Amino acid sequence: MTELAAVKAALKTQAVETPSWAYGNSGTRFKVFAQAGVPRDPREKLDDAAKVHEFTGVAPTVALHIPWDKVDDYAALAKYAGERGVKLGAINSNTFQDDDYKLGSICHPDAAVRRKAVDHLLECVDIMDATGSADLKLWFADGTNYPGQDDVRERQDRLAEGLAEVYARLGEGQRMLLEYKFFEPAFYTTDVPDWGTAYAHCLKLGTKAQVVVDTGHHAPGTNIEFIVATLLREGKLGGFDFNSRFYADDDLMVGAADPFQLFRIMYEVVRGGGFGAESGVAFMLDQCHNIEAKIPAIIRSVMNVQEATAKALLVDRGALAAAQREGDVLGANAVLMDAYNTDVRPLLREVRGEMGLDPEPLAAYARSGWAEKIVAERVGGRQAGWGA
Ligand code: PSV
Ligand code: MN
C-alpha cells in the first residue's frame, strides 16, 4: 500500500461519537433559544444522529445522557438505533441536577446523598447492559465554593469509595471513563479538577478505569497534547470529549476556535498509537449548538475532526524523527507545519467518494430535505433541551 493509500484507509475507519444532547436545545445560563424541528424524545435524537452518520460515514455511535434520555426499554432503543444504521455509545451519568446535590454527589458529606449518587451510577451500568454500551462516562460537578467548607481530603476518600463500588459492578468489556474539569460549577475546589487527579483514581481502580480529556476543561494555555501523550503512554487515555473553547467550557464546535491545537492533539494520538478501533480511545463530541443549526454544526464538527486527523496522518514521521535526532529545530518544526498547512479537503472528498458518500456532506445534507421535514413534522410535544 502506498503511504497515501494507507492514510485514506485509516481515515475510512475513523469513528466519531456524537452526543444526544447536542441535538436538543441548549444555551447559556442566560437563555436557551429554541429552534424549530428539534427532537422531542431520544428516538428523534437518534434519527438526527443517523443523518450525521449517513452524510459523513464516520459518526456511527451516539452517546446517551441519563436521565435526559430515559426510556422504558433500552434494548428497544438500541434496536431502533440499529435500524437507522447507528449504535448507542457511552452512557453519560448525571449527578449534578438534583437539589440533593447542592453540596456534591459522590463526595457529599451526607452518606445518604452519596448512596443516591452511587445508585444512579449503578443504574447507568444496568442501562449499559441493556444497550450493549461499553463505556460509562463520569463527570462530577462536585467541589466546594469556600475555603473550609468541607474536608478536601475526605472528599477524595468518598470519591474513591464511590468509584470503587461502581468499578466492581462493571462487566466484561465495560469501562469507566473519568472526566476532569478545572472549575465550574464549584469555584474554590473541584474534586476531579485535573488529569492528575483523574489518573490517580483510575490507576488505583484498575485497567477498566481510564481518563477522558474534554478539550474545553482546561485553563487557557494548557498544553493539552502533552496530557494526551502522557495518558497514552501510561495506557490511561480512555477518550475525548471534543469541543472548542475561547474562555471556559464554551462547548463550541471542535476545531472552530483552534484548529492548530486540534491537529497537535491528533498528532500525539497518532504518534502514541491512539488512533484506530483497537486502541480503545473513544472520540466523542461534547458540544452545545446554541445559535447555529444543530445537525449541520455536528456535521461540520465531524469534518473538523477528520481534517485534523488527515493532517496528523500526513506528518512525515521518518523525516520528523531524523530532524529530531539531528537536533534540527527548524527542520523538525517545518515537517510538522508542512502537514498542518496541507489542504486536506480534496483528499477527504476522494475518501468520501470511495466510501460511496457525497464528497460534500453539508451540501448533501442541505439538499436532502431533512431540515425541512423535521421542522414540518416535529410540531407539538416538548422539545428536548438541556435537562431533558
Ligand atoms: C459539563 O461540563 C459537561 O459538559 C461535561 O463535560 C460532561 O461530559 C457533559 O457535561 C455531559 O454531562
Ligand atoms: Mn465533557
Residue 368 CA, ligand 2 centroid: distance in Å? 31
Q: What angle, 0 to 180 degrees and rounded to 10, lies between the N-to-C axes of helices 345-354 and 294-314?
A: 110
Atom of ligand 1 at shortest range from CA of 21: 11
Nearest CA to ligand 1 atom 11: 92
Q: Rounded to 5 degrees, what are φ and ψ at 33?
A: -95, 125
Q: Which of 35, 31, 16 is nearest to 300 (CA)?
A: 16
CA separation for the pair 310, 337 (Å, rounded): 13
Residue 355 one-letter amino acid: M
Left if phi > 0, otherwise alpha if psi is -120 to 50, otherwise beta: which for 378? Answer: beta
225 lines ligand 1 (CB under 6 A): no
Atom of ligand 1 nearest to the CA of 181: 2
* Mean pLDDT value of segment 69-77: 98
- CA 290 to ligand 2 center in whole angstroms: 16
pLDDT-based confidence at 219, cuts 50/70/90? very high
**3-state helix/strand/coil string of the chain:** CCHHHHHHHHHHCCCEEEEHHHHCECECCCCECCCCCCCCCHHHHHHHHHHHHHHHCCCCEEEEECCCCCCCCHHHHHHHHHHCCCEEEEEECCCCCCHHHHHCCCCCCCHHHHHHHHHHHHHHHHHHHHHCCCEEEECCCCEECCCCCCCHHHHHHHHHHHHHHHHHHCCCCCEEEEECCCCCCCCCEECCCCHHHHHHHHHHHCCCEEEEEECCCCCCCCCHHHHHHHHHHCCCEEEEEECECCCCCCCECCCCCCHHHHHHHHHHHHHCCCCCHHHCCEEEECCCCCCCCHHHHHHHHHHHHHHHHHHHHHCCHHHHHHHHHCCCHHHHHHHHHHHHCCCCHHHHHHHHHHCCCCCCHHHHHHHHCHHHHHHHHCCCCCCCECCC
Amino acid occupying residue 165: E
Mutate to test the pocket of ligand 1, among 95, 212, 218, 286 (most ligand atoms within 8 A of CB): 286
With respect to residue 359, please indicate whether it lies within any of the assigned structural domains. no
User: What cell numbers appear for 137 in the block?
Assistant: 462516562
The pLDDT value recorded for residue 277 is 84
At 385 the pLDDT is 87
| Cell numbers describing residue 221 | 494555555
Q: What are the tens digits of pLDDT across the range 264-306? A: 999 999 999 999 889 999 999 999 999 999 999 999 999 999 9
Task: Quote the CA–CA distance of 377 and 300 in Å, as a whole number.
Answer: 24
Q: Give pLDDT tens digits for 327-348.
A: 999 999 999 999 999 999 999 9
Q: Categorize the per-residue pLDDT at 318 as very low, low, confident or very high, splitting at 50, 70 and 90.
A: very high
The yes-or-no verdict on residue 388 having pLDDT over 70 is no
pLDDT at 386: 75
- The atom number, within ligand 1, closest to the CA of 137 reads 8
Residue 301 sits in a domain whose CATH number is: 3.20.20.150
Ligand 1 proximity of 358 Cβ (cutoff 6 Å)? no
- How many CB atoms are closer than 10 A to CB 332? 18
Which residue's CA is the closest to the ligand 1 atom numbered 7? Answer: 139
Q: Is residue 325 part of a domain?
A: no
Per-residue pLDDT tens over the stretch 223-261: 999 999 999 999 999 999 999 999 999 999 999 999 999
> Quick check: is 146 in a domain?
yes
Whole-Å CA distances, 47 to 74, 76, 208, 282: 16, 14, 31, 22
Is 125 within the bounds of a domain? yes
* Closest atom, ligand 1, to C-alpha of 19: 11
Give the pLDDT band of residue 387 (cuts 50, 70, 90).
low
Ligand 1 pocket test, pick from 21, 184, 214, 252 with the greatest ligand atom count within 8 Å of Cβ, gives 214
Structural domain of residue 14, as residue ranges? 8-314
Q: Whose CA is nearest to atom 8 of ligand 1?
A: 139
Residue 249 alpha carbon, nearest atom of ligand 1: 2
- Amino acid found at 158: R
Ligand 1 within 6 A of CB of 286: yes
Q: Is residue 339 a part of any domain in this protein?
A: no
So what's the pLDDT on residue 346?
98
Number of structural domains, the chain? 1
pLDDT, one tens digit per residue, over 158-206 is: 999 999 999 999 999 999 999 999 999 999 999 999 999 999 999 999 9
Closest listed ligand to the CA of 137: 1
23-66 pLDDT, tens digit per residue, is 999 999 899 999 999 999 999 999 999 999 999 999 999 999 99
Ligand 1 within 6 A of 249 CB? yes
Q: Is residue 283 part of a domain?
A: yes
- Amino acid, res. 378: R
Distance 251 CA to ligand 2 centre (A): 9
**Ligand 1 pocket mutation pick from 182, 241, 245 by most atoms within 8 angstroms of CB:** 241
